[in-house]
């Protein structure tokens, strides 16, 4: 009997140890929050799901990623602050929203800065883009890469936009980019800053009658329901910034850091390719939704009209960043 009792005690001890080991393993897993402002139908969500799946698989579940889309954890400014202070671990936010921290980074959003996507990728992935990522570290952020929204295009409810004169008088929603705000001012529009989460209602109720966004955002936010005309002005390339709380990154093991950085790069590459591959289909969906799309935009006239925006930026911030971008894009 004593042997049996001892045996059960041994089994009990093994069970307790097993449960303790499982509990310890569960506690060892790191759970990270990833936030973005786009709907779940947007390419930002596709990128986030890819990132989550690959990070969890390659770390054998030791690092888990929970995704919070559609501004669940705040608007762009709030997500940046939350990521800086560790309330959020990752965020995907328009690069223009970082100009308050890094004023020179606004050069990336100057109108007609990037003639092609390839030129933009070359700059963002090269030394110039990496220098901006490095500069973010002083604010508690680690740059993980630059996904894209695509080229910004104008939509409105008045008429097709073909020349700079067609923008005059429009009540234009703008984002946090001073360069784009100055651009619409110079074209005679009345720019109003409205968070993207509130934009549909603002267009529906007539608070503003025009806006500019890349094709994917216009589709995923269903702006085609409240906007009649889409003009492919392609007046600014719109990069995103994928950032991580620096302390959260530093807490990861060396192997986990390698996985997170590698998967981030792959996720950015994947999202960019999807953006290009799906653009024509997305335009067709907007047309099917009732939008009238025009491509006959006088790009040269627009570029000439917005030159003062470049001059104002250089006067305020100097020409170093502008020249570095132009040189790197060649």
* Residue 157 covered by a domain: yes
> What's residue 146's pLDDT?
98
Q: What is the pLDDT of residues 264-304, one digit of tens each?
A: 999 999 999 999 999 999 999 999 999 999 999 999 999 99
* Residue 1 covered by a domain: no
Which structural domain range is residue 120 located in? 31-328
* Residue 64 covered by a domain: yes
* Residue 13 covered by a domain: no
* Residue 2 covered by a domain: no
The overall average pLDDT reported for the chain is 92
* CATH number, residue 70: 3.40.190.170
> What's residue 319's pLDDT?
96
Domain count, the chain: 1
Distances (CA, A) of 185 to 101, 107, 160, 190, 191: 23, 18, 19, 6, 7
Q: Which residues lie below 8 Å from residue 146, measured CB to CB, with a gap of 6+?
A: 95, 124, 125, 129, 239, 240, 241, 242, 268
* Residue 95 covered by a domain: yes
> What's residue 177's pLDDT?
85
How far apart CA 103 and CA 238 sit, in angstroms, is 16
Q: What does the pLDDT average to over 312-316? A: 96
How far apart CA 77 and CA 79 sit, in angstroms, is 5
pLDDT at 10 over 50: no
pLDDT at 15 over 70: no
pTM, entire model = 0.89
* Residue 14 covered by a domain: no
Q: What is the 3-state secondary structure (H, E, C) of 69-82?
A: CCCCCCCHHHHHHH
What is the DSSP pairing of strand 90-94 with strand 229-245?
A: antiparallel
* Residue 10 covered by a domain: no
Q: What is the pLDDT of residues 161-193, one digit of tens each?
A: 999 999 999 999 998 888 999 999 999 999 999
């Amino acid at each position: 009997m004593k042997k049996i009792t001892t045996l059960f005690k041994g089994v009990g001890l093994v069970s307790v140890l097993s449960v303790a080991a499982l509990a310890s393993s569960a506690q060892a897993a790191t759970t990270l929050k990833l936030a973005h402002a786009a709907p779940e139908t947007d390419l930002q969500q596709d990128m986030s799901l890819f990132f989550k799946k690959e990070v969890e698989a390659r770390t054998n579940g030791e690092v888990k990623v929970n995704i919070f889309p559609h501004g669940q954890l705040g608007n762009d400014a709030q997500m940046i602050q939350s990521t800086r202070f560790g309330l959020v671990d990752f965020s995907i936010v328009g690069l223009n929203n970082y100009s308050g921290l890094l004023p020179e980074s606004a050069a990336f959003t100057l109108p007609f800065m990037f003639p092609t996507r390839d030129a933009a990728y070359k700059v963002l992935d090269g030394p110039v883009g990496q220098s901006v990522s490095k500069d973010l570290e002083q604010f508690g952020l680690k740059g993980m890469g630059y996904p894209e929204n695509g080229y910004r295009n104008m939509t409105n409810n008045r008429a097709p936009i073909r020349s700079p004169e067609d923008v005059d008088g429009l009540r234009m929603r703008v984002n946090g980019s001073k360069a784009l705000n100055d651009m619409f001012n110079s074209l005679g529009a009345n720019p109003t800053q409205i968070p993207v989460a509130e934009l549909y209602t603002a267009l529906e109720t007539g608070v503003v009658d025009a806006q500019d966004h890349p094709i994917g955002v216009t589709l995923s936010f269903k702006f085609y329901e409240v906007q009649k005309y889409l003009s492919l002005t392609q007046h600014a390339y719109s990069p995103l910034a994928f950032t991580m709380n620096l302390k959260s990154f530093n807490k990861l093991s060396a192997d986990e850091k390698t996985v997170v950085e590698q998967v981030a790069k792959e996720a950015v590459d994947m999202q960019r390719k999807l953006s290009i591959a799906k653009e024509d289909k997305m335009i067709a969906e907007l047309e099917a939704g009732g939008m009238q799309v025009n491509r006959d935009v006088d790009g040269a006239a627009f570029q000439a009209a917005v030159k003062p925006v470049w001059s104002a930026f250089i006067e305020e911030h100097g020409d170093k960043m502008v020249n570095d971008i132009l040189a790197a894009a060649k």
